[in-house]
Amino acid sequence: FGQKAIINSTFNERALEPVRPGDIITYSGKVITINNIEKEKRLDLEVRGTNQLGQTTSLASVNLPF
């Protein structure tokens, strides 16, 4: 993706549960939509953080060009 993709992207995250020292957080993501806007393709993603107990600790929406 490179530097341009990072500069032209958005990342919005909500913390849903506290993360404590020693917690193991696993992140997973899924593609929500692929948009073709004029000559630019953009991805809308959902990224979820889950702790070792299976609790969702954070939820983020990401939009980036590719």
Measured between alpha carbons, how far is 54 from 48 in angstroms, rounded to an integer? 11
**Extents of the domains making up the chain:** 2-65
pTM for this entry:
0.81
pLDDT (tens digit, 9 = 90+) per residue, 11-65? 999 999 999 999 999 999 999 999 998 888 999 999 999 999 999 999 999 999 8
Q: Residue 2 phi/psi, 5° resolution? A: 85, 180
What's the CATH architecture for 2-65?
Roll (3.10)
